[in-house]
Amino acid sequence: MELYSGHINKLVEELAGLPGIGSKSAQRLAFHLINMPQSRVERLAHAILDAKQNVRYCTECYTLTDQDVCPVCANANRDHATIMVVENARDMAAYEKTGKYGGVYHVLHGAISPMLGIGPGDIKLKELMKRLEGDVQEVIIATNSSLEGETTAMYISKLIKPTGIRVTRIASGVPVGGDLEYIDEVTLLRALEGRVEL
């Protein structure tokens, strides 16, 4: 038996199809949207449509932007000789929030995963190699510490090393506030190998 009318069910169904939104959250969002003033609902709908129609990949780093070149790549004050390779635009945003990285980025839009059928040709590796034909001195690999992220990091490293460009990997290890007894062996080993002098 359907509890709500067709329009409400359809809205709940569409919202539940979004990542991270379960059926209860979808119901809450649906009722919130229905109770919002018409003008706010229209602004939200227009914002979604505008983003879908106008957002595209930056022609240099492949992050999402509404310009040909994103603000980071267009910034002449950034160090364009240092490229940090990340898996997705959210990772790039996380590094930008620190305010401490002054280079540019390259967004892969995924990681190599043979189990999921994602190979090197399915992510933005060709585009990265093309960028390295310019004046690049260092590539920082900042993929996740997952099996896929590590596989991707090793693959990129093997591709770039013969060019003579310096290849580095971000350190990983024990998180601040983490208890050692609850941390897996691989993370502990990476933390030990990446230790620095005090």
Helices 6-16, 23-35: axis angle to 10 degrees equals: 120
Closest CA to 160 of 193, 120, 122, 191: 120
pLDDT per residue of the chain (198 residues) written in tens, 0 to 9: 456 678 889 999 999 999 999 999 999 999 999 999 999 999 999 999 999 999 999 999 999 999 999 999 999 999 999 999 999 999 999 888 888 889 999 999 999 998 889 998 999 999 999 999 989 999 999 898 888 888 999 999 999 999 999 999 888 776 777 776 777 777 777 777 776 665
Q: Are 141 and 165 in contact (CB under 8 A)?
A: no
User: From CA 126, how far away is CA 128, in angstroms rounded?
Assistant: 5
pLDDT tens, residue by residue, 109-133: 999 998 889 998 999 999 999 999 9
pLDDT of res. 186: 73
CA 179-181-186 angle, to 5 degrees, is: 100
pLDDT in tens, 30-39: 999 999 999 9
Alpha-helix runs per DSSP H in 55-146 = 71-74, 89-98, 125-131
Q: Can you tell me the distance from the alpha carbon of 55 to that of 76, in angstroms, rounded to the nearest whole number?
A: 23
pLDDT at 196: 64
Return the beta strands (E) in the chain as ranges: 56-57, 64-65, 79-86, 103-107, 138-141, 166-169
Q: Which segments of 5-163 are extended strands (E)? A: 56-57, 64-65, 79-86, 103-107, 138-141
Token pair recorded at residue 74: 């267009």
Determine the Cα–Cα distance for residues 68 and 87; give it in Å rounded to an integer.
Answer: 20
| List of domains in the chain | 77-171 (3.40.1360.10)
Could you tell me the two tokens for 145?
């510490």
Listed in sequence order, the residues at least 6 apart from 143 whose beta carbon sits closer than 8 Å to its beta carbon are: 85, 86, 87, 108, 111, 149, 150, 152, 153, 156
pLDDT at 1: 43
The tokens 């490229």 sit on which residue?
83
- Rounded Cα–Cα distance for residues 42 and 52 (Å): 15
